[in-house]
Amino acid sequence: MAKKNRILGGAGEKVLLTGNEAIARGCLEAGVVVATAYPGTPATTILEKLGDVATELGFHAEFSVNEAVAFEVSAGAAMSGVRSLMATKMLGVNLIADPLTVISVTGVRGGLVIITADDPQQFSSQNAEDTRFFGMLAKVPVLEPVDGQEAKDMTRYAFELSEELELPVFLRITPRICHSSFPIELGEIHPPKRNGKFLRDPKRFVMISTFSRPRQKILNEKIAKAGIIADTNPWNRTFNFQNGRAVDDNKAYNTFGIIASGMTFPYVEEVLEVTKVNARVLKLATTYPLPQNLVTEFLREMDQVLIVEENDGVTELLTRALAQRKRLNVRIMGKDEGLIPMSGELNPDLVGDALEKLFGVQFREELTEPYIKAEKELVSQRVPALCSGCPHRASYYSIKEALRRKGMGGSIMGDRGCYNQGAYAPLEGIDSCICMGASIAMASGISHSGTNEPVLSVIGDGTFFHSGIPSLLNAVHNRSNIVSLIFDNSITAMTGHQVNPGTGVNLMGVHTGNANLKKIVEACGVERVQVINAFDTKRLIDAVMEEIDQPGPSVIISRSPCALVVERNVRQRKLKMYRAEVDLDKCIGCKVCMKKIGCPAFGWGDDPKPHLEILPHCNGCGLCVEMCPFGAISVPEKREGALGISVKPREVRE
């Protein structure tokens, strides 16, 4: 279907876009030349959208092999004088910290913008760190939009600011901006100026200490200048709320103030409209560095100020420091005083609670008895699971089964990817999940700790390319006694199937050849490498048992495509989708299948007796067939010996 790409609408049109789409559009309006990301973040769609139009508009977009590489690619482009973007989330910022803290010293020539989607609610993140600290650490300005329109417009502006300062610029958003939709008024798309040229300037770009030292002064001057520019940033605005209505004037007739940034600003607006608390509000778009004059003038008129922000109390910290330096007698409140929660995302009710504590006004509608009862008696959290037909389920089952048969205990160090869903019962396939690439090295550490138990690690193909390779090299070099499993589905599946070097195609749709996982592993010096179909559980169990007995590092590549990719292929090619069936005469309702593999396509029936039922979204991978002790499950018509979901052409369904 050749649907019109929504981010390509004409200037002046108003269209419904997600925050990510709006940012992608902002990049087009800025004439971005190079855009990069590592997928698997709330900001991933920005690059997907840019990738869709990159060839047509004549710029370069890529999913890079990891965040540090992505950032360095973008930084190289920006040093060559063109506009360049990198999109990530806060945990990706950890990876770019090394180049970032030096590239702020060298500075850039073309605009370099880093989008970071901080995840205060931890919808899909291991921690809830605040990127603004990295802004302070590297002396890089941080901008924060309050909605989709600002996200688009500020993206464009961020490039201009970056060029004015010759510094990278952070645009900090949250998943609530990324995935929420807003009507967006579009601006003019500017054709990318792909005319980069790296001009040699060793004293600026060769950061050996003698050249770097004098540049610290330049960096300090730049960030000071950023604070002065922030004073006139048009998105920093003050409002007076009188009797529930915003008055856009500069008179200071309120002595209670609120400073709000990002998604919290509309929450503050809503709460003031309803509670009719009179307040002067500073909507802060430049959270680092603070616009010093603007904030000083704001504080000067106030008796007390509430700071409303997500993640950590960074604005609170900076505002307190400023008030102290300017000797202002104002009470500054926020997270420190417990008015704003220290963790978790904010919402209008939580902002309302703060005003209730301060003024006794009520915003939050009370939950009355029936609602409390419903919540308490009927609501239960669903336990996430791997998708039906997921090859990781077969791999985890095999690993656990191998350890069970060995009877020696053992630990399985996990990594980051959708295979994390295997942590839940009943699979309970991993014992750790720390960060990208940690599995192999942590397993190595355990193996050197003196343990007698087998030490295994599990990593996906995308994560292995991302940061598993150095750990594997290290395991060989330092002779760790580990069994490393690489779950290879040849795609980065977690955020909806983004390409990686093993996929064979890049984001621009160019066939660039598959990175050969087995050869890479061998080239690292691993002597024992096996590639096994993930659904061939017998071979996989045997292989794991065998490798546990072998000294030194060994690798098992457990390979099968992502079930959702196969399903899509089956649909598009109009092939037959097989489904498992239950023989009611044989099923005794023992639930052994469920307890072993917990597939989400398992349902339950009571008529005429309790039995397993297969739900319509079964895709016939066949793993359950071998789980049943009574042979009650089969996948009829399926080709003999087929393992996993078959994509062999059969008759067209209906």
Partner 1 sequence: MNIILSGVGGNGVVLTTRIIAEAAVMEGINVRVGEVHGLAMRGGTVVSHLRLGHDAKGVLIPQRMGDMMLSFEPLEAIRQLKLLKRGAKVIINNDPYIGVDAHLGLSRYPDICRVLEQIQETQDLVDVPATHLAVEAGGVVMTNVVMLGTLSASRELPIRREVLLEAIKSRVPPHTIDKNIVAFELGEKAFQEWESSRACQVKQ
Residue 347 engages partner 1 in binding (rule: CB under 8 A): yes
- Per rule CB under 8 A, is residue 107 in the interface with partner 1? no
Told to check if 375 binds partner 1 by CB under 8 A, we report yes
CB of 276 to partner 1, least distance (A): 15
Cα 575 to Cα 572: distance, rounded to the nearest angstrom:
8
Alpha carbons 32 and 155: distance in angstroms, whole number: 10
Do the Cβ atoms of 582 and 633 come closer than 8 Å?
yes
CA atoms within 13 A on the CB side of 162: 35
Stretch near partner 1 under the rule CB under 8 A, chosen from 177-185, 193-201, 278-286, 301-309: 177-185
Is 383 a binding residue for partner 1 by CB under 8 A? The answer is: yes
Binding mask 544-583 for partner 1 (x = CB under 8 A): ----------------------------------------
Q: How far apart are CA 603 and CA 616, in angstroms?
A: 10
Nearer to partner 1, 613 or 626 (CB): 613
CB 429 within 8 A of CB 423: yes
Q: Is 124 in the site for partner 1 (CB under 8 A)?
A: yes
Applying CB under 8 A, among 101, 126, 180, 296 the residue interacting with partner 1 is 180
Residue among 76, 429, 468, 600 that touches partner 1 (CB under 8 A): 600
Q: Is 460 in the site for partner 1 (CB under 8 A)?
A: no
Phi then psi dihedrals of residue 2, to 5 deg? -90, 70
Q: Does 382 contact partner 1 by CB under 8 A?
A: yes
Query: Distance between CA atoms of 24 and 30, rounded to whole angstroms?
Result: 10
Tell me which of 240, 421, 489, 492 binds partner 1, using CB under 8 A.
421
What residue type is 575 in one-letter code?
A: L
- Nearest distance in Å: CB 120, partner 1: 12
Q: Which residue has the tokens 């030194």?
A: 552
Q: Count of residues binding partner 1 (CB under 8 A)?
A: 64
Any contact of residue 127 with partner 1 (CB under 8 A)?
A: no
Binding of partner 1 by 364 (CB under 8 A): yes
Out of 379, 606, 608, 652, the only residue in the binding site for partner 1 (CB under 8 A) is 379
Q: Pattern of binders to partner 1 over 471-500, x per CB under 8 A? A: -----------------------xx-----
Give, for 259, the enclosing helix (H) or strand (E).
Answer: strand 256-260
**Of residues 13-32, those binding partner 1 (CB under 8 A):** 14-16
- What Å distances lie between residue 85 and 30, 33, 56, 65, CA to CA? 10, 8, 18, 16
User: CB neighbours of 29 closer than 8 A, spacing ≥ 6?
Assistant: 152, 155, 156, 186, 187, 188, 189, 190
Residue 73 CB, nearest approach to partner 1 (Å): 26
Q: Which of 234, 616, 636, 641 binds partner 1 (CB under 8 A)?
A: 616
CB atoms within 10 A of CB 343: 12
Find all residues with CB under 8 Å of 131, minimum gap 6, and list them: 90, 93, 116, 118, 142, 170, 172
- In whole angstroms, how close is the CB of 628 to partner 1 at the nearest point? 15
CB distance 31 to 83 below 8 Å: yes
Q: Does 270 bind partner 1 (CB under 8 A)?
A: yes
Helices and strands: H and E segment counts in the chain: 22, 24
371 makes contact with partner 1 (CB under 8 A): yes
Q: Which of 329, 381, 452, 572 binds partner 1 (CB under 8 A)?
A: 381
From the list 257, 313, 598, 620, which residue makes contact with partner 1 (rule: CB under 8 A)?
Answer: 598
Pick the piece of the chain touching partner 1 (CB under 8 A) from 263-271, 478-486, 547-555, 637-645: 263-271
- Expressed in angstroms, the distance from the first to the final Cα of the chain is 22
Residue 361's Cβ-count burial label (10 Å; 0-12, 13-18, 19+) is middle
| CB hemisphere CA count around 219 (13 angstroms) | 23
605 binds partner 1 (CB under 8 A): no
Where does this chain touch partner 1 (CB under 8 A) — which range of 63-71, 100-108, 358-366, 438-446? 358-366
3-state secondary structure of 245: strand
Q: Which of 206, 374, 408, 523 binds partner 1 (CB under 8 A)?
A: 374
Strands (DSSP E) found in 509-583? 528-533, 554-559, 581-582
Q: Is 247 in the site for partner 1 (CB under 8 A)?
A: no
Cβ-based nearer residue to partner 1, 425 or 510? 425
We find the least distance from the C-beta atom of residue 424 to partner 1, in angstroms, to be: 8
Of 93, 91, 89, 43, nearest in space to 71 by CA: 93
Give, as one character, the DSSP assignment of residue 420: G
Under rule CB under 8 A, residue 85 binds partner 1: no
Burial class, 573, CB count within 10 angstroms (exposed 0-12 / middle 13-18 / buried 19+): exposed
Is residue 340 a contact point for partner 1 (CB under 8 A)? no
Applying CB under 8 A, does 354 fall inside the site for partner 1?
no
- Out of 31, 168, 352, 468, point to the residue binding partner 1 (CB under 8 A): 352
Q: For residues 5 and 3, what is the distance between their CA atoms, to the nearest angstrom?
A: 6
d(CA 473, CA 521): 9
Q: Tell the smallest beta-carbon distance from residue 654 to partner 1 (Å).
A: 10
CB of 200 to partner 1, least distance (A): 44
**Side chain identity at residue 345, one-letter code:** E
Closest distance to partner 1 from the beta carbon of 400 (Å): 16
Q: Look at the chain and count its residues.
A: 654
Between CA 19 and CA 171 the distance in angstroms is: 12
363 binds partner 1 (CB under 8 A): yes
Closest by Cα among 342, 290, 284 to 313: 342
Q: Considering only residues 97, 164, 179, 579, which one is a binding residue for partner 1 as defined by CB under 8 A?
A: 179
Task: Determine the Cα–Cα distance for residues 342 and 356; give it in Å rounded to an integer.
Answer: 18
Q: Compare residues 11 and 206 and give the one whose CB is closer to partner 1.
A: 11
Chain residues that interact with partner 1, rule: CB under 8 A: 1, 14-16, 42, 123-124, 147, 175-176, 179-183, 263, 266-267, 269-270, 273, 347-349, 352, 363-368, 370-371, 373-375, 377-385, 387-388, 421, 424-426, 494-495, 591, 594-595, 598-600, 602-604, 616-617
